[in-house]
Chains A and B, each alone.
Chain A
Amino acid sequence: MREITIEKLVNVPALNARLRERLADRIYGISYDGKRVIIHLADAATKDDEAAAAAEVEAHDPTVKTEDQARAVLIEAAKQDLLTNDFKALKGAIESASTLAAIRPILLAMLLLMWRLALAQGLTRETDVDAAVRT
């Protein structure tokens, strides 16, 4: 195994995925200590692979999340929203609604609640309800 050490802040899962996509089985993975990233290259890696790996690290933006990381953020946000959900207000709105126009926003609020519950359980995707409902 050969190693390249580069001082840089990185998003480990994102950089790992990118390097594996680029170098396939010529990379074993990366290690990170909070300041430096170590690229673990297979012996089969060429000089071009070394240069490609180094270039990927240089171009890497640690603020860009992977799909899983973005999903984890959404799930956590959904959980926090559920913690502060005002069920009393929702009940009051249901009890006082007497027209279809008044019921519609209540149903949308309930849809949002159901979506957050499903998202928090990892049972749905963030795109399963449109942005207008989420906000």
Chain B
Amino acid sequence: MAWTTPRTWVAGEVPTAAIMNAHVRDNLNALKDPPQAVAENFNATLSTTSTSFANITGAEVTITTTGGRAMIGFQISQTASGGTSSDFTCYEITIDGTAVSGHANGVLITYTGAPISFTHLTAALSAGAHTIRIQWRVNTAVRTASASKFQLWAREA
């Protein structure tokens, strides 16, 4: 159910069923069940050696928002091989193809080959459909990042 900007009531106003349904019932329903989507793969065989951010296959959701911020959550069972202890894997979030961090190393860096998870609160998004993807890259040509499980979710905050 779509969100409606809550009505400002004026003295003496007689609420109608339509107004009450739109501003009370429907908004409560919208708060209880906001736009949301999930993508997951718990039996994945993913890997990358890319030193430029590349989409993680399947880590992609689309939500249709009403103009608010979005919360994004991501967990991944990842490992790494090759390189040294100072080498790393980093992750980026893109919304409609645009990276959210504005940083060469994305929203998160990990030097270990261990599972990670993170959540991210976006700026307000324009009302409409938005596609959210997770990307990853390694910092050196000799490192391979791999993953066996992930879950990505997004919902309007």
Chain A interface (Cβ < 8 Å from any Cβ of B): 1, 3, 12-13, 16, 20, 28-34, 36, 38, 40, 42, 68
Q: How far is the CA of A3 from the CA of B53 in the complex (A)?
A: 12
Contacting B49 at CB < 8 Å: which of A29, A33, A34, A42?
A29
* B: number of interface residues (CB 8 Å): 20
Q: How far is the CA of A12 from the CA of B58 in the complex (A)?
A: 19
Which chain B residues border A32 with CB–CB below 8 Å?
A: 45-48
Pair A31/B57 contact, Cβ less than 8 Å: yes
Which chain B residues border A40 with CB–CB below 8 Å?
A: 50, 52, 54
Chief secondary structure at chain B's binding surface: strand
Our count of residue pairs bridging A and B at CB distance below 8 angstroms stands at 60
The chain B residue with its CB closest to the CB of A31 is: B48
Q: How far is the CA of A32 from the CA of B58 in the complex (A)?
A: 12
Contact of B82 with A by CB under 8 A: yes
Which chain A residues border B46 with CB–CB below 8 Å?
A: 31-34
Pair B52/A12 contact, Cβ less than 8 Å: no
Contact of B138 with A by CB under 8 A: yes
Nearest 6 Cβ contacts at the A-B interface: A34-B45, A29-B50, A29-B49, A28-B52, A16-B49, A31-B48
Which chain A residues border B17 with CB–CB below 8 Å?
A: none
Q: How far is the CA of A108 from the CA of B45 in the complex (A)?
A: 43
CB distance from B94 to the nearest CB of A (A): 13
Q: How far is the CA of A17 from the CA of B144 in the complex (A)?
A: 11
CB distance from A61 to the nearest CB of B (A): 18
Which chain A residues border B138 with CB–CB below 8 Å?
A: 29
